[in-house]
Chain A
């Protein structure tokens, strides 16, 4: 049972380059989300999706795009990387569709991105 799989685990970019962080889950979860983790700040929500074709912004969406064409995949795109986007990125999913109040988030192992 793979759970939530993120690729790549490590990436170094130059300022202005673009890239996509991949996230796939095999649990048939409706809800998927992307967080960034920075020291002393906990996790902050970037974008989330409650089903295929439906996405919405979180707390820190600027500089990131997402799409959800299938239930399984939820890629995160950086269009023009900036040093401020150096962070560890986590994808998480949940089977809860009516709100996350009782739902458990299942996390990937993270993608560490450095922007020079």
Chain B
């Protein structure tokens, strides 16, 4: 069985400061891991994905995530937050079947 825990339900940062969103996963296999972003009243959009290649994954809009198998973590970071980064972020795990497991989400607020 697979599952995801997002350790923070809400993160607030100042514009221009780093962003860290924490995600731990549980999987019986070598998982694929994803981060999706959802802006208000919109559908979800893929930020980045890990599929057993390089452990440091770069995504869109300056985001990146590092897969750490020993810590079962896949934390998302961005060096400098922008106002447009205010959104909800979901960590997602797949055991390579047809079912994805979503975390509960982390809401990011960016202060001017």
Secondary structure dominating the interface of B: loop
B104: nearest chain-A partner, CB-CB: A42
Q: Which residues from B are CB-within-8-Å of A84?
A: none
B42: chain A residues within 8 A (beta carbon): 109-110
* B45: A residues at CB distance < 8 A: 107
**Cα distance, A101 to B104, chains bound together (Å):** 20
Question: A41 with B32: in contact, given A50-B98, A110-B41 (CB under 8 Å)?
Answer: no
Q: Cβ of A90 and Cβ of B44 under 8 Å apart?
A: yes
Known: A42-B105, A102-B32. A56 touches B98 (CB 8 A): yes
A48 & B41 in contact (Cβ 8 Å cutoff): no
Chain B residue total in the interface (Cβ 8 A): 24
Task: Check A110–B97 contact: CB distance below 8 A.
Answer: no
Across the interface, name the chain B residue whose C-beta is closest to A112: B41
Interface 0/1 of A34-49, CB less than 8 Å to B: 0100001111110010
Q: Which 9 A-B pairs have the closest CB atoms?
A: A107-B43, A101-B96, A42-B102, A101-B32, A43-B102, A107-B44, A99-B96, A102-B51, A42-B104
User: Which residue numbers of A lie inside 8 Å of B, CB to CB?
Assistant: 4, 31, 35, 40-45, 48, 50, 56, 58-59, 90, 92, 99-102, 104-105, 107-110
Name B residues whose Cβ lies closer than 8 Å to a Cβ of A: 4, 9, 32, 36, 41-46, 49, 51, 90, 94-100, 102-105
What are 16 A-B residue pairs whose CB atoms fall within 8 Å in the complex? A40-B104, A40-B105, A42-B105, A43-B44, A45-B99, A48-B99, A92-B44, A99-B94, A100-B94, A100-B96, A100-B99, A102-B51, A104-B46, A104-B49, A109-B43, A110-B42
